[in-house]
Structure 1
């Protein structure tokens, strides 16, 4: 009888150990998602491939496991060359036309200068942004990194977007056809 009690106790302890190991393994695998963050936080600048820059038409955002993303759409189909942009962290978002400081919430401000907000053929606005206001249709509720947006009226041929982020974090800028994609990492760490 004593042997049966010892055997049952050993089986119970072994089962508890296995359950604990499985729970720990699941937690470890969920916490160890590797996120690329080697993008740096210095200015990214590309000169447009052509004299004509296509006009800005839409701005969308999305949340991903390792970063928050902003996608800026430009008129037209596929572009053969670079769209042209200047993306950098700034201390304050300033309207180049008036010198006005535009408040942007967050721990840091990413200033994004892109193509024009008008159709050169007609002179009409191509994007419904209003000066010093949040981007229309962009809701950042629940985002890990993005905190606020502001639109600045185009001066000459650049529209400017202020993107408030949680802190000065690594970011990358890529182009896909007539879209400019800006990803801002959730952290400087290699895992999320």
Structure 2
């Protein structure tokens, strides 16, 4: 009888502990369907860069370029060197690999013309990001150099808002 009581208590305790475990769907998964090939979406909508932000997530680091207007154009690719538009001069970007992030701002006089590296977020504490520099604003294009740890998968997309604006989002995975 004592053995039966002990078995029943063990079974009940085991059932209670199973109820404490998070459901499988709640466990973060980093199964990426991203790649490292260039991504682009040309645009003819009016927008201008007004802010740049960065953040860390469990599986990736994120760069967000805030736009005034409904812009949705971008070109993002890995490059050997990030160059200034117009002059072609290389811009130093620290990291094992460099992403060139170009935000298209047709018909706008970009506010980014007044950006300095001091206006950009410090990404030195991020897991994947190593450096972020403003390269240039020229003929409706604002270019940033994003230094990353290695040539890792990334994705790019746009979001609406806030306040009638839009955002270009670049996520770079922490690993393959």
TM-score tier, shorter chain, comes to 0.7 to 0.9
2:173 matches 1:185? yes
Partners of 2:98 and 2:46 lie apart in 1 by: 25
> Which has more radius of gyration?
1
2:57 matches 1:72? no
Q: What TM-score do you get using the length of structure 1 for normalisation?
A: 0.69
2:34 matches 1:39? yes
Of 82, 90, 95 in structure 2, the residue corresponding to residue 106 of structure 1 is 95
SS of residue paired to 1:105: coil
More strand by share: 2
Long gaps (5+) in structure 1 = 1-21
2:135 matches 1:142? no
2:100 matches 1:115? no
RMSD between superposed Cα atoms in Å = 2.6
Q: What TM-score do you get using the length of structure 2 for normalisation?
A: 0.75
Aligned length: 150
Native 8 Å contact 1:90 1:109 kept in 2: yes
2:111 matches 1:126? yes
SS of residue paired to 1:75: strand
Native 8 Å contact 1:135 1:149 kept in 2: no
* Dislocated runs of 4+, deviation >2 Å: none
Native 8 Å contact 1:135 1:150 kept in 2: no
